[in-house]
Structure 1
Amino acid sequence: MSDVEGDGAVDGSHHDDKWEYRRLRLPPGISRLSAATQLSINAEFTGWELSNVRLYPDGTRRIWLRRRRQLAAAGLPELIT
Protein backbone atom coordinates (compact mmCIF):
# COMPACT_ATOMS: atom_id res chain seq x y z
CA MET A 1 0.00 0.00 0.00
CA SER A 2 1.25 3.46 -0.72
CA ASP A 3 0.05 6.96 -0.03
CA VAL A 4 2.07 8.03 -3.01
CA GLU A 5 0.51 6.65 -6.18
CA GLY A 6 2.72 4.52 -8.35
CA ASP A 7 5.72 2.57 -7.16
CA GLY A 8 6.26 4.12 -3.73
CA ALA A 9 6.09 2.04 -0.57
CA VAL A 10 5.19 3.01 2.97
CA ASP A 11 8.10 1.95 5.20
CA GLY A 12 6.50 2.85 8.50
CA SER A 13 4.86 5.49 10.60
CA HIS A 14 4.96 6.83 14.14
CA HIS A 15 3.81 9.85 16.11
CA ASP A 16 4.61 12.13 18.99
CA ASP A 17 2.39 14.55 20.93
CA LYS A 18 1.98 17.03 18.06
CA TRP A 19 2.85 15.22 14.83
CA GLU A 20 2.22 12.00 12.93
CA TYR A 21 5.11 10.85 10.74
CA ARG A 22 5.11 8.54 7.76
CA ARG A 23 8.20 7.21 6.01
CA LEU A 24 8.02 6.40 2.31
CA ARG A 25 10.49 4.82 -0.07
CA LEU A 26 10.53 5.71 -3.75
CA PRO A 27 12.44 3.38 -6.08
CA PRO A 28 15.33 4.55 -8.28
CA GLY A 29 13.32 4.79 -11.51
CA ILE A 30 11.15 7.71 -10.37
CA SER A 31 12.37 11.11 -11.55
CA ARG A 32 12.66 14.09 -9.24
CA LEU A 33 9.81 15.86 -11.05
CA SER A 34 7.55 12.81 -10.82
CA ALA A 35 8.33 12.34 -7.11
CA ALA A 36 7.63 16.03 -6.41
CA THR A 37 4.34 15.88 -8.33
CA GLN A 38 3.19 12.74 -6.52
CA LEU A 39 4.08 14.17 -3.11
CA SER A 40 2.34 17.48 -3.91
CA ILE A 41 -0.87 15.74 -4.91
CA ASN A 42 -0.69 13.56 -1.82
CA ALA A 43 -0.16 16.59 0.42
CA GLU A 44 -3.11 18.42 -1.12
CA PHE A 45 -5.60 15.67 -0.37
CA THR A 46 -4.29 14.06 2.83
CA GLY A 47 -2.63 16.90 4.71
CA TRP A 48 0.91 15.48 4.83
CA GLU A 49 3.86 17.85 4.46
CA LEU A 50 7.44 17.09 3.56
CA SER A 51 9.72 16.74 6.56
CA ASN A 52 12.89 15.17 5.13
CA VAL A 53 14.21 13.56 1.93
CA ARG A 54 17.30 11.42 1.51
CA LEU A 55 18.60 10.43 -1.90
CA TYR A 56 20.80 7.33 -1.88
CA PRO A 57 23.54 6.48 -4.42
CA ASP A 58 21.35 3.83 -6.08
CA GLY A 59 18.65 6.49 -6.75
CA THR A 60 16.27 5.36 -4.01
CA ARG A 61 14.59 8.17 -2.10
CA ARG A 62 13.60 7.82 1.55
CA ILE A 63 11.00 10.44 2.46
CA TRP A 64 9.58 11.51 5.81
CA LEU A 65 6.16 13.15 5.76
CA ARG A 66 4.45 14.72 8.74
CA ARG A 67 1.07 16.17 9.66
CA ARG A 68 -0.45 17.56 12.81
CA ARG A 69 -2.20 14.96 14.89
CA GLN A 70 -5.95 15.23 14.97
CA LEU A 71 -7.93 14.47 18.12
CA ALA A 72 -9.60 11.43 16.56
CA ALA A 73 -6.20 10.15 15.43
CA ALA A 74 -4.89 10.62 18.97
CA GLY A 75 -7.21 7.89 20.22
CA LEU A 76 -10.03 10.06 21.54
CA PRO A 77 -13.54 8.86 20.78
CA GLU A 78 -15.51 10.64 18.09
CA LEU A 79 -18.82 12.37 18.79
CA ILE A 80 -21.91 10.24 18.39
CA THR A 81 -24.54 12.01 16.27
Structure 2
Amino acid sequence: MRTSPPGWEESSDDEWEYVPLRLPPGVTRVSATLRLSIHAEYGGWELSRVRAYTDGSRRVLLRRRKTPQLSPTPEAVM
Protein backbone atom coordinates (compact mmCIF):
# COMPACT_ATOMS: atom_id res chain seq x y z
CA MET A 1 0.00 0.00 0.00
CA ARG A 2 1.40 3.37 -1.05
CA THR A 3 0.98 6.20 1.48
CA SER A 4 1.82 9.01 -0.93
CA PRO A 5 1.27 9.58 -4.67
CA PRO A 6 3.83 8.25 -7.14
CA GLY A 7 6.87 10.48 -7.31
CA TRP A 8 6.39 11.76 -3.76
CA GLU A 9 8.79 9.36 -2.14
CA GLU A 10 10.32 11.10 0.83
CA SER A 11 13.98 11.87 0.37
CA SER A 12 16.57 9.95 2.33
CA ASP A 13 17.74 13.24 3.83
CA ASP A 14 18.31 12.83 7.56
CA GLU A 15 17.44 16.47 8.18
CA TRP A 16 13.68 16.28 7.45
CA GLU A 17 10.80 14.04 8.46
CA TYR A 18 7.69 13.75 6.30
CA VAL A 19 4.06 12.82 6.84
CA PRO A 20 1.42 12.37 4.10
CA LEU A 21 -2.17 13.46 4.71
CA ARG A 22 -5.34 12.94 2.72
CA LEU A 23 -8.12 15.51 2.79
CA PRO A 24 -11.46 14.06 1.63
CA PRO A 25 -13.61 15.69 -1.07
CA GLY A 26 -16.02 17.35 1.40
CA VAL A 27 -13.31 19.49 3.03
CA THR A 28 -13.56 23.10 1.89
CA ARG A 29 -10.52 25.17 1.01
CA VAL A 30 -11.02 27.30 4.15
CA SER A 31 -11.28 24.21 6.38
CA ALA A 32 -8.18 22.65 4.77
CA THR A 33 -6.25 25.89 5.33
CA LEU A 34 -7.32 25.96 8.97
CA ARG A 35 -6.30 22.31 9.57
CA LEU A 36 -2.90 22.79 7.95
CA SER A 37 -2.34 26.04 9.86
CA ILE A 38 -2.97 24.24 13.14
CA HIS A 39 -0.41 21.57 12.22
CA ALA A 40 2.08 24.28 11.33
CA GLU A 41 1.51 26.29 14.50
CA TYR A 42 1.48 23.50 17.07
CA GLY A 43 3.40 20.68 15.39
CA GLY A 44 6.09 22.60 13.54
CA TRP A 45 5.03 21.14 10.18
CA GLU A 46 5.34 23.03 6.91
CA LEU A 47 3.73 22.39 3.56
CA SER A 48 5.94 20.47 1.17
CA ARG A 49 3.53 19.42 -1.62
CA VAL A 50 -0.18 19.42 -2.46
CA ARG A 51 -1.93 17.44 -5.15
CA ALA A 52 -5.62 18.12 -5.91
CA TYR A 53 -7.74 15.45 -7.59
CA THR A 54 -10.83 15.79 -9.80
CA ASP A 55 -13.07 14.24 -7.13
CA GLY A 56 -12.21 17.15 -4.80
CA SER A 57 -9.85 15.25 -2.52
CA ARG A 58 -6.32 16.45 -1.81
CA ARG A 59 -3.08 14.71 -0.92
CA VAL A 60 -0.75 16.80 1.19
CA LEU A 61 2.86 16.15 2.17
CA LEU A 62 4.03 17.93 5.31
CA ARG A 63 7.62 18.16 6.48
CA ARG A 64 9.57 19.41 9.47
CA ARG A 65 13.14 19.36 10.64
CA LYS A 66 14.00 16.33 12.73
CA THR A 67 14.50 16.96 16.42
CA PRO A 68 15.58 14.60 19.19
CA GLN A 69 12.28 15.22 21.00
CA LEU A 70 9.28 13.42 19.48
CA SER A 71 5.92 15.15 19.19
CA PRO A 72 2.58 13.80 17.93
CA THR A 73 2.08 13.35 14.20
CA PRO A 74 -0.91 14.95 12.47
CA GLU A 75 -2.71 11.58 12.24
CA ALA A 76 -2.76 11.37 16.05
CA VAL A 77 -4.20 14.89 16.27
CA MET A 78 -7.00 14.63 13.67
What TM-score comes out, normalization by structure 2 length?
Answer: 0.71
From 20, 25, 31, give the equivalent of 1:23.
20
Deviation per residue, 1:26-73 (Å, 9 max, x gap)? 000000111001100111001000001000000110000000011345
Aligned to 1:46: 43
Larger RCO, structures 1/2 (Cα 8 Å, 6+ apart):
2
The alignment status of 1:61 with 2:58, answered yes or no, reads yes
Q: Normalized per residue, which structure has more helix? A: 2
Greater Rg by CA: 1
RMSD of aligned residue pairs (Cα, Å): 1.8
In terms of fraction of residues, the more strand-rich structure is 1
Give the SS at the match of 1:41.
helix
Gaps of 5+ in 1: 1-10, 74-81
**What fraction of aligned residue pairs are identical, expressed as a percent?**
56
Counterpart AA for 1:23: P
Q: Note the residue ranges of structure 2 that are not aligned, 5 or more in a row.
A: 5-9, 71-78
